[in-house]
């Protein structure tokens, strides 16, 4: 695995690399991760289950990405790939310079390369044009590509000019054994008696406003990087529209350049007690934040596959999200309310989600008022509420996405890549010429000459080879036991605990 984005940096790409690596280790493969140094985190580090991570000492150039030199890191990358006896280099993220450089060195060494694209790009602005052309050059010699959604596949095929038969769609997954609902962490729903006389009325707008003003709080959770691409400006436009509803609270997790805008809006509308800014969150703490909410809001302007909404649905939250990129493919309509990326549309979606939450609370209060607290009474016929409980949502997500399925499909891609013949220098140069950037042929030639010089200066026979087996795996571990059985047993134990 090669990428600029890995722990201690946190995000969707980092989470995908870590979980996929863990599942591949569990299935008996040898996996290492190559990334750049983070502060004083340099050299070799070992993570869970013996995952070996090379934090190579390369300075960050911009936005956690190293400077694209193409030749300066060749000696170190060659040494690592030969020492670890690597067969396939799997690069992640089109933004990652280190991933593209490692894939290029791997192809010149006769190895196979696979690339996973996690993002969507446009075609109009200058930065997108440059990035798309660079991606086209890099993927010209890639054995196979993986996209996380069908929308992402169409985008990659168009902007990188990759043949559609060389692109597979493998979505992300979520650990539903960890991201489980915990309704006890939400605000108490039986603390108000002011709404008792409304329980026998139909749920019209006046009742809706009354419930919002006098019922228990409704928590709306937002967890994302606070940058323009995540639609923070939309969120800033929604906050003032809900200031007249004192029982609607916001819990915002994440950090970024747009945080100052949200803090300014919060102070301007006197919502300091209702909008909580948590700052940057470790991924281990995301679930503790999600289970405190009733509704999860995602306002992204572009997204190939949004891991955050899957994790929120697994925790039992009603999801409201903008209808952009591959998001409509991710969750069924019973779990998500899709809106256009405008303030008014997102506000209407939020209002609908709040109405459903209030209607569910009305049903719950009606059962308490009728003297039944065991939850065995049927849903009253006078209500139109057809929502799912938190644990039903978790079960749906568990059936749709699991890392065992993602790993099996990725293994098939690996086997397909290994069946292809190693690329020759002549073939790599011809593929680069097809992109129309002929100077890059000189770069490939220079990289080849540097590798030939290193074969003389540091011969392969003098490089100490690492063991192919994972020394951290217990010798008593049953390798034949599928990771699917392990995952199923873990999920079952978690659900029994929370039941």
Residue by residue, pLDDT tens for the chain (499 residues) are 999 989 888 778 888 999 999 999 998 899 999 999 988 889 999 998 889 999 999 888 887 888 888 888 999 999 999 999 999 999 998 889 999 999 999 999 999 999 999 888 777 777 778 888 888 998 989 999 999 888 889 989 998 888 999 999 998 888 888 888 887 777 654 443 333 334 334 444 444 444 444 456 889 999 988 888 889 999 999 999 988 888 889 999 988 889 999 999 999 988 888 999 998 888 788 889 999 999 999 999 888 888 889 999 999 899 999 998 888 988 988 899 999 999 999 999 999 998 888 887 665 555 444 444 444 444 444 444 456 788 888 889 988 888 889 999 999 999 999 999 998 889 999 888 888 888 888 999 999 999 999 999 999 999 988 887 776 665 544 444 444 455 555 545 544 544 4
478 belongs to a structural domain: no
Cβ(17)–Cβ(26) under 8 Å? Answer: no
Distance CA 11, CA 280 (A): 11
Enumerate residues 6+ apart whose C-beta is below 8 A from 166. Answer: 142, 143, 144, 145
| 18 and 142, same domain (yes or no) | yes
| 394 and 427, same domain (yes or no) | no
Distance CA 406, CA 156 (A): 20
**Backbone angle region of 321, left / alpha / beta, with phi > 0 → left and psi within -120 to 50 → alpha:** beta
Distance CA 386, CA 375 (A): 16
| 410 and 351, same domain (yes or no) | no
Q: How far is CA 400 from CA 43, 81, 303, 413, in A?
A: 38, 35, 19, 20
55 belongs to a structural domain: yes
CB-CB neighbours of 332 under 10 Å: 10
CB-CB neighbours of 438 under 10 Å: 10
- pLDDT the model gives residue 115: 95
Strands of 318-322's sheet in order across: 275-279, 248-253, 218-223, 295-298, 318-322, 336-339
| 16 and 57, same domain (yes or no) | yes
| 245 and 390, same domain (yes or no) | yes
| 449 and 348, same domain (yes or no) | no
- The backbone torsions φ and ψ at residue 469, rounded to the nearest 5 degrees and listed phi first, read -85, 150
Nearest residue to 300 (alpha-carbon basis) of 338, 265, 332: 338
198 belongs to a structural domain: no
- pLDDT the model gives residue 187: 67
92 belongs to a structural domain: yes
Which residues form the domain of 133? 12-173+405-473
- pLDDT the model gives residue 30: 92
Report the Cα–Cα distance between both ends of the chain, in Å, rounded: 38
Distance CA 49, CA 27 (A): 12
Beta strands (DSSP E) in 372-418 are none
| 397 and 436, same domain (yes or no) | no
For 30, the token pair is 């040898």
139 belongs to a structural domain: yes
- pLDDT the model gives residue 492: 52
DSSP 8-state code for residue 224: S
| 389 and 433, same domain (yes or no) | no
Q: What is the gyration radius of the CA atoms in the chain, in angstroms?
A: 26
Question: Pairing between strand 52-56 and 32-36?
Answer: parallel
| 227 and 303, same domain (yes or no) | yes
| 122 and 240, same domain (yes or no) | no
Distance CA 224, CA 245 (A): 24
> How much is the pTM?
0.78
482 belongs to a structural domain: no
Q: DSSP of 223-275, one letter per residue?
A: ES--SGGGTHHHHHHHGGGGTT-TTEEEEEE--STTHHHHHHHHHHTT-TTTE
413 belongs to a structural domain: yes
| 287 and 255, same domain (yes or no) | yes
Classify residue 61 as exposed, middle or buried by CB count within 10 Å of its CB (0-12, 13-18, 19+).
Answer: middle
Distance CA 493, CA 224 (A): 30
200 belongs to a structural domain: no
CATH number reported for the structural domain that contains residue 238 in this entry: 3.40.50.2000
Distance CA 382, CA 435 (A): 64
- pLDDT the model gives residue 306: 84
| 103 and 226, same domain (yes or no) | no
Nearest residue to 394 (alpha-carbon basis) of 350, 333, 352, 335: 335
Cβ(3)–Cβ(13) under 8 Å? Answer: yes
Distance CA 460, CA 453 (A): 12
Q: Total structural domains in the chain? A: 2
């Amino acid at each position: 695995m090669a990428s600029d984005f890995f722990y201690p940096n946190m995000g969707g790409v980092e989470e995908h690399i870590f979980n996929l690596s863990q599942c591949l280790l569990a299935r008996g493969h040898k996996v290492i991760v190559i990334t750049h140094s983070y502060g004083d985190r340099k050299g070799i580090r070992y993570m869970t289950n013996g995952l070996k991570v090379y934090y190579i000492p390369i300075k960050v150039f911009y936005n956690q990405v190293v400077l694209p030199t193409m030749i300066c890191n060749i000696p170190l990358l060659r040494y690592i790939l030969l020492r670890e006896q690597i067969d396939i280099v799997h690069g992640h993220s089109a933004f990652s310079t280190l991933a593209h450089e490692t894939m290029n060195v791997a192809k010149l060494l006769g190895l196979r390369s696979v690339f996973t694209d996690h993002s969507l790009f446009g075609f109009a602005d200058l930065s997108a044009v440059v990035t798309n052309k660079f991606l086209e050059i890099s993927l010209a010699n890639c054995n196979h590509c993986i996209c996380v959604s069908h929308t992402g596949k169409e985008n990659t095929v168009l902007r990188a000019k990759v043949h559609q038969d060389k692109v597979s769609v493998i979505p992300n997954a979520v650990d539903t054994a960890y991201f489980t609902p915990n309704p006890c962490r939400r605000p108490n729903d039986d603390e108000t008696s002011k709404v008792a006389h409304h329980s026998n009325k139909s749920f019209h707008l006046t009742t809706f406003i009354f419930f919002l003003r006098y019922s228990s709080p409704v928590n709306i959770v937002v967890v994302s990087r606070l940058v323009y691409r995540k639609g923070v400006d939309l969120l800033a436009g929604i906050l003032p529209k809900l200031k007249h509803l004192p029982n609607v609270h916001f819990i915002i997790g994440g950090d970024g350049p747009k945080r100052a805008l949200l803090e300014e809006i919060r102070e301007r509308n006197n919502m300091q007690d209702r909008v909580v800014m948590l700052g940057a969150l470790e991924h281990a703490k995301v679930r503790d934040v999600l289970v405190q909410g009733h509704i999860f809001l995602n306002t992204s302007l572009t997204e190939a596959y949004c891991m955050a909404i899957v994790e929120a649905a697994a925790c039992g939250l009603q999801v409201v999200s903008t209808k952009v990129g591959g998001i409509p493919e991710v969750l069924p309509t019973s779990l998500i309310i899709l809106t256009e990326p405008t303030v008014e549309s997102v506000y209407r979606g939020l209002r609908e989600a709040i109405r459903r939450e209030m209607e569910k609370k009305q049903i719950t209060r009606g059962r308490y008022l009728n003297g039944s607290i065991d939850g065995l009474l049927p849903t009253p016929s006078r209500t139109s509420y057809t929502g799912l409980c938190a644990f039903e949502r978790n079960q749906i997500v568990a059936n749709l996405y699991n890392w065992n399925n993602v790993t099996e499909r990725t293994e098939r891609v690996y086997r397909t890549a290994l069946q292809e013949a190693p690329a020759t220098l002549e073939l790599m140069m011809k593929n680069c010429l097809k992109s129309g950037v002929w100077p890059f042929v000189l770069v490939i030639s220079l990289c080849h000459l540097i590798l030939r010089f290193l074969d003389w200066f540091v011969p392969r026979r003098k490089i100490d080879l690492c063991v192919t087996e994972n020394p951290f795996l217990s010798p008593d571990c049953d390798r034949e036991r599928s990771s699917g059985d392990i995952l199923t047993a873990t999920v079952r134990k978690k659900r029994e605990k929370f039941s």
